[in-house]
Chains A and B, each alone.
Chain A
Amino acid sequence: MVFENTSEVIRAETIIKENGWSVRVMGPPPEIRSGCDLVIEFPLIEHLNIFRLLEEAGVAPLKTVPVAGPLLEPVNIFFTKDFGAFLMVRAANMKITIEKGSLVIVNISGGGCPDVPYLAREMVGKKLDEAPRPRSIGHTLCGYALELAYEEIKRQGACLP
Chain B
Amino acid sequence: MFAVVGTVPDEDFPIVAGPVSAAGDRLFIDGREIEINRGTAALLAAAVMVSHYMGKDGPEAFLVGDTGYGRGSRRLYGYLEKTLPARRYTSLTFHYIQPDVDWHNRVLFAVDRMPERPLLIADAGFMYAAKMSGQAEAYDAFTPDMGELAFLADESAPHPFYTRGFILHENNRAARLIERAYRHKNAARYLLVKGEKDIAADRSGILETVTEPRTDALEAIGGTGDIITGLLAGLTGVGQDLLPSVMAAIRISRMAGKAANPNPGTQVAGIIQKIPDCLKQFYGNGHLKGSP
Q: Which residues of A contact B (CB under 8 A)?
A: 5-7, 27-28, 33-37, 72-77, 79, 81, 83, 85-86, 88, 90, 92-95, 97, 99, 106-121, 124, 138-145
Contacts and interface: CB of A to CB of B under 8 A. Distances in A.
Contacts of A110: 145, 147-148, 222, 225
B158 A72 contact: yes
B60 interface: no
A119 B96 CA distance: 13
Interface in B45-103: 66-70, 72-73, 96-102
B132 A118 contact: no
A145 B145 CA distance: 15
Interface stretch (B161-169, B174-182, B237-245, B253-261): B161-169
Given A35-B99, A35-B129, A112-B125, A88 B264 contact: yes
Contacts of B70: 5, 36, 114, 139-140
Interface residues of B, number: 61
B127 interface: yes
B199 to A, nearest CB: 17
B198 to A, nearest CB: 15
B104 interface: yes
Contact of B128 (A83, A112, A144, A145): A112
Contacts of A144: 161
Contacts of B219: 81, 88, 95, 109
Contact of A93 (B102, B145, B224): B145
B144 to A, nearest CB: 9
Nearest to B128: A112
B159 A109 contact: no
Contacts of A28: 158
B80 to A, nearest CB: 15
Contacts of A108: 222
B157 interface: yes
B264 A113 contact: no
Nearest to B66: A114
30 contacts: A27-B161, A28-B158, A34-B102, A35-B99, A35-B100, A35-B129, A36-B99, A36-B128, A36-B159, A72-B158, A75-B165, A86-B220, A86-B265, A92-B151, A92-B161, A97-B265, A99-B265, A106-B265, A107-B267, A109-B38, A110-B147, A112-B148, A113-B124, A114-B97, A114-B125, A117-B7, A117-B39, A118-B68, A119-B68, A142-B160
